[in-house]
Amino acid sequence: MAKDLGWPAFPGFSAAAKAALEAHAWPGNVRELKNVAERAVAYCTNAAAPIDTIVFDPFASPFRPTSRNTATPHAPPSAETTAAAPPGPLPSDFKSAVAGFERDLLTRALGEARHNQRVAAKRLGLGYHQFRNTLRKHGLLPSRGPTEP
Protein backbone atom coordinates (compact mmCIF):
# COMPACT_ATOMS: atom_id res chain seq x y z
CA MET A 1 0.00 0.00 0.00
CA ALA A 2 2.87 2.37 0.81
CA LYS A 3 4.37 1.59 -2.61
CA ASP A 4 1.02 2.21 -4.30
CA LEU A 5 0.87 5.61 -2.61
CA GLY A 6 4.35 6.48 -3.92
CA TRP A 7 6.08 6.51 -0.54
CA PRO A 8 9.88 6.03 -0.66
CA ALA A 9 9.71 3.47 2.17
CA PHE A 10 7.25 2.01 4.66
CA PRO A 11 7.86 3.81 8.00
CA GLY A 12 6.52 0.93 10.09
CA PHE A 13 4.16 1.06 13.05
CA SER A 14 4.67 2.85 16.37
CA ALA A 15 4.99 0.78 19.55
CA ALA A 16 1.41 1.66 20.53
CA ALA A 17 0.10 0.62 17.11
CA LYS A 18 2.04 -2.68 17.28
CA ALA A 19 0.61 -3.36 20.74
CA ALA A 20 -2.93 -2.69 19.47
CA LEU A 21 -2.39 -5.00 16.49
CA GLU A 22 -1.04 -7.77 18.71
CA ALA A 23 -3.85 -7.40 21.27
CA HIS A 24 -6.66 -7.64 18.68
CA ALA A 25 -8.46 -11.03 18.47
CA TRP A 26 -8.56 -11.04 14.62
CA PRO A 27 -11.88 -12.80 14.12
CA GLY A 28 -11.56 -12.10 10.38
CA ASN A 29 -8.13 -13.77 10.31
CA VAL A 30 -5.56 -12.77 7.67
CA ARG A 31 -7.98 -10.82 5.46
CA GLU A 32 -8.93 -8.60 8.38
CA LEU A 33 -5.27 -8.03 9.26
CA LYS A 34 -4.50 -7.09 5.64
CA ASN A 35 -7.44 -4.67 5.51
CA VAL A 36 -6.49 -3.02 8.82
CA ALA A 37 -2.85 -2.60 7.74
CA GLU A 38 -3.83 -1.18 4.33
CA ARG A 39 -6.33 1.18 5.96
CA ALA A 40 -3.70 2.39 8.44
CA VAL A 41 -1.29 3.21 5.61
CA ALA A 42 -4.01 4.86 3.52
CA TYR A 43 -5.17 7.06 6.42
CA CYS A 44 -1.62 8.08 7.39
CA THR A 45 -0.83 11.72 6.66
CA ASN A 46 2.93 11.66 7.33
CA ALA A 47 4.85 9.13 5.20
CA ALA A 48 8.05 9.72 7.19
CA ALA A 49 6.73 8.96 10.70
CA PRO A 50 5.73 5.54 12.04
CA ILE A 51 2.01 4.86 11.74
CA ASP A 52 0.28 5.43 15.06
CA THR A 53 -3.43 5.22 14.21
CA ILE A 54 -5.09 1.85 13.75
CA VAL A 55 -8.76 1.64 12.70
CA PHE A 56 -10.14 -1.84 13.31
CA ASP A 57 -13.74 -1.02 12.38
CA PRO A 58 -14.09 1.48 9.54
CA PHE A 59 -17.84 1.60 10.18
CA ALA A 60 -17.55 2.49 13.86
CA SER A 61 -19.96 5.22 14.82
CA PRO A 62 -20.94 6.82 18.10
CA PHE A 63 -24.53 6.36 16.93
CA ARG A 64 -24.30 2.57 16.46
CA PRO A 65 -26.42 0.71 19.03
CA THR A 66 -24.31 -1.20 21.51
CA SER A 67 -24.83 -4.88 22.08
CA ARG A 68 -25.50 -6.05 25.61
CA ASN A 69 -23.98 -9.43 24.73
CA THR A 70 -20.22 -9.47 25.26
CA ALA A 71 -19.71 -12.94 23.77
CA THR A 72 -17.26 -13.36 20.93
CA PRO A 73 -18.99 -13.07 17.57
CA HIS A 74 -18.40 -16.70 16.60
CA ALA A 75 -19.26 -18.37 19.88
CA PRO A 76 -22.67 -19.05 21.36
CA PRO A 77 -23.41 -16.92 24.41
CA SER A 78 -22.74 -18.54 27.76
CA ALA A 79 -24.05 -17.77 31.22
CA GLU A 80 -20.89 -15.76 31.95
CA THR A 81 -21.00 -13.65 28.78
CA THR A 82 -24.69 -12.90 28.47
CA ALA A 83 -25.60 -9.61 30.10
CA ALA A 84 -28.36 -9.92 32.65
CA ALA A 85 -31.41 -7.73 32.39
CA PRO A 86 -31.20 -4.75 34.70
CA PRO A 87 -33.11 -5.25 37.93
CA GLY A 88 -36.52 -3.71 37.83
CA PRO A 89 -40.11 -4.50 38.59
CA LEU A 90 -41.15 -8.06 37.90
CA PRO A 91 -43.36 -8.52 34.84
CA SER A 92 -46.99 -9.27 35.51
CA ASP A 93 -47.07 -11.87 32.71
CA PHE A 94 -44.11 -14.26 32.87
CA LYS A 95 -44.88 -16.05 29.59
CA SER A 96 -45.13 -12.79 27.64
CA ALA A 97 -41.87 -11.53 29.15
CA VAL A 98 -40.03 -14.74 28.22
CA ALA A 99 -41.52 -14.71 24.71
CA GLY A 100 -40.42 -11.09 24.27
CA PHE A 101 -36.90 -11.98 25.43
CA GLU A 102 -36.78 -14.92 22.98
CA ARG A 103 -37.98 -12.73 20.09
CA ASP A 104 -35.34 -10.14 20.94
CA LEU A 105 -32.57 -12.77 20.98
CA LEU A 106 -33.75 -14.24 17.68
CA THR A 107 -33.92 -10.91 15.89
CA ARG A 108 -30.55 -9.77 17.27
CA ALA A 109 -28.91 -13.05 16.24
CA LEU A 110 -30.39 -12.77 12.75
CA GLY A 111 -29.20 -9.19 12.46
CA GLU A 112 -25.66 -10.00 13.58
CA ALA A 113 -25.58 -12.99 11.21
CA ARG A 114 -26.87 -10.83 8.32
CA HIS A 115 -30.01 -13.01 8.24
CA ASN A 116 -28.06 -16.23 7.71
CA GLN A 117 -30.20 -18.62 9.76
CA ARG A 118 -27.52 -21.29 10.12
CA VAL A 119 -25.02 -18.79 11.53
CA ALA A 120 -27.64 -17.22 13.82
CA ALA A 121 -28.65 -20.65 15.12
CA LYS A 122 -25.04 -21.54 15.85
CA ARG A 123 -24.46 -18.25 17.69
CA LEU A 124 -27.40 -19.02 19.95
CA GLY A 125 -26.29 -22.61 20.49
CA LEU A 126 -29.35 -24.01 18.71
CA GLY A 127 -29.68 -26.52 15.93
CA TYR A 128 -30.86 -25.19 12.58
CA HIS A 129 -34.30 -26.86 12.76
CA GLN A 130 -34.75 -25.87 16.40
CA PHE A 131 -33.92 -22.27 15.45
CA ARG A 132 -36.40 -22.27 12.54
CA ASN A 133 -39.16 -23.75 14.70
CA THR A 134 -38.54 -21.06 17.31
CA LEU A 135 -38.69 -18.37 14.59
CA ARG A 136 -42.00 -19.85 13.41
CA LYS A 137 -43.33 -19.98 17.00
CA HIS A 138 -42.74 -16.24 17.39
CA GLY A 139 -44.13 -15.34 13.96
CA LEU A 140 -40.71 -14.38 12.62
CA LEU A 141 -40.88 -16.96 9.86
CA PRO A 142 -43.85 -17.63 7.59
CA SER A 143 -45.71 -20.72 8.71
CA ARG A 144 -45.98 -23.67 6.40
CA GLY A 145 -49.08 -23.35 4.29
CA PRO A 146 -51.17 -26.27 3.08
CA THR A 147 -49.38 -28.28 0.43
CA GLU A 148 -50.95 -29.05 -2.93
CA PRO A 149 -51.78 -32.77 -3.46
**% of the chain at pLDDT higher than 90:** 10
**% of the chain at pLDDT higher than 70:** 78
Instruction: Return the CATH number of the domain spanning residue range 1-64.
Output: 1.10.8.60
Predicted TM-score of the model (pTM): 0.41
Band (127; pLDDT cuts 50, 70, 90): very high
What are the boundaries of each domain within the chain? 1-64, 65-149
Question: Does domain 65-149 fall into CATH 1.10.10?
Answer: yes
102 φ/ψ angles, rounded to the nearest 5 degrees: -60, -45
Q: What is the pLDDT of residues 22-77, one digit of tens each?
A: 888 888 778 888 888 888 888 888 888 898 888 888 777 777 666 655 444 444 44
Q: How many CB atoms lie within 10 A of CB 7?
A: 14
- Among the listed residues 109, 112, 96, the one whose alpha carbon sits nearest the alpha carbon of residue 135: 109
First to last CA, the chain: 61
